Amino acid sequence: MSTLDTARAWLAQDPDPVTREELTGLIAQAEAGDAAALESAFAGRLEFGTAGLRGELGAGSARMNRVSVAQAAAGLASFLLRRGAHPSVVIGYDGRVNSDVFARDTAEIMAGAGVRALLLPGPAPTPVTAFAVRDLDVSAGVMVTASHNPPRDNGFKVYLGDADQGSQIVAPVDAEIAAEIELMASRYTFDDLPKGTFEQLGDDVRERYVSATAALGQPGASSRVVYTAMHGVGWLTTRDAVAAAGFEPLIPVAEQRDPDGAFPTVAFPNPEEPGALDLAMATADREHAELIIANDPDADRLSVCVPVEGGWQQLTGNEVGLIFGWDAAKRLGTGTLACSIVSSPGLEAIAKHFGLEFQATLTGFKWVSRVDGLVYGYEEALGYLVNPETVRDKDGISALLRILSIHGALRAEGRTLLDLLDEIATTVGAYASGQVSVRVTDLARIPATMAALRATPPTELAGVAVTAADDLNLPEHGSIGNILRFTMADGSRVMVRPSGTEPKVKVYIDSVDATGDQDAARALVSAYAEAMRPLVA
């Protein structure tokens, strides 16, 4: 079937007037001789992987739209029905464009297939949906979100209950669901899929999440803390959890407090992106705050800024990750600390110091959350799991309560988070981390960059010899994934991989100074970052 024929068949089943109009225009354009945009819209199927679906809104099989979501819902329903009797699913959604529509379609289609479908009552953070899978003891969960992706993106994220305990899907389940999606898409149009009656949940699930999360809070010395929800869904649940835990109310960034799928004040709604926290810093200056805390739009990530001379310093994901690791080790005294292999080696040093177990996992929080005996896990991309008995995914709201607790305890002692980082460095060594992140518009650049580095790995960086260049995708290195690791003569580590959720090539750099000299470790990171930048740009 030609692309034009495929597009016409898609148009005939598309229930969304917005994407119908878009596709009608693309077809007319192709019929007039310019088929490039239509070819792009139908350049294969939006891939269903371990992050579920995630992509740009628009018409066609390669985009996020009501047809592609309906096919995913039908495929997931078929998978669950094959997996066991009387399956059930809870569905949540964030404040992005069409999230509510996609969630309702999912609920109706899964109910029509014979799966008991429960829909959360309104936009809510991803951690609430992850919590609901365990709280309601359902077979699966779907969260309609694109997390911190660009404004025009949306996604369909899947959790599994039962033996998976509410964790994200992993291989080979992702491929099994993808096969069911293909099968459903080949057999049924949108209108052919039976629609059923779903159960509309009340706010009690979110209230139970708030109660469970508030138990993590330990208020100390009070302080003025600015909070931004980044135009996402974090504010109401965060506000309630903070109040239930007994902390002073947060000061919201008014312009970014409420859900807005247009994300009008940020180019990319990701706290890691340059400029994303400018309004939060301006608010903190005006309010004379002692701390800034940011969630990403679905509130599964957390970023922290501390005051320094002349402004604000955003702590890296690894710095916050080590603070939480130190806190968990001291507070709990037993269990396993875990992080992904691209996160700081400093967590292993903390685990050894306190006599805890440690495990490095594959990249992706779906692996961190599955570690046996886990008491704390993190990934450097601002993802932290401080309450694995409640949620089996990164959770920016529970992490917020712990950072408030740590900050309050330090403030009562006349110390700061930076002082705690100094203490950690003095005790286990100064671990510094940095990152080079290159966003692309031409997706072909990503495999080309990885192929070039495989073919000709660097022999030195910043004047320091590369003592080992390992392709972690090879069996001799465990077939860990599409990751290249360069080990430096001074013990530093440089790793390169494509992002799993964004069109980026990412370089992770970790250095350590055994004497605890953080400036020396940071200088090494900066030097390696500058050396790597032209190799991936």
Q: Is 230 left (phi over 0), alpha (psi -120 to 50) or beta?
A: left
How far separated are the first and last CA of the chain, in Å rounded? 38
Q: Is 147 a catalytic residue?
A: yes
As given in the structure block, the two tokens for residue 391 are 């949620």
Pick the closest to residue 392 from 147, 124, 138, 130 (CA basis).
Answer: 130
Tell me how far apart the alpha carbons of residues 331 and 406 are, in angstroms, rounded to a whole number.
11
Tell me how far apart the alpha carbons of residues 173 and 48 are, in angstroms, rounded to a whole number.
11
Tell me how far apart the alpha carbons of residues 371 and 162 are, in angstroms, rounded to a whole number.
16
Place of tokens 């396993």: 336
Pick the closest to residue 496 from 443, 455, 461, 449 (CA basis).
Answer: 449
Pick the closest to residue 2 from 24, 22, 27 (CA basis).
Answer: 27
Tell me how far apart the alpha carbons of residues 46 and 53 are, in angstroms, rounded to a whole number.
7
Q: Residue 84's CB: how many other CB atoms inside 10 A?
A: 9
**Helix and strand tally (H, E) in the chain?**
17, 22
239 to 217, 229, 406: CA distances (angstroms)? 13, 11, 18
Query: Strands (DSSP E) along 315-451, which ranges?
Result: 336-340, 357-361, 374-379, 383-385, 430-439
Secondary structure of residue 469 in the 3-state scheme? strand
User: Which one is catalytic: 88, 99, 139, 147?
Assistant: 147
Phi, psi values for residue 184, rounded to 5°: -65, -40
**Which amino acids are annotated catalytic?**
147
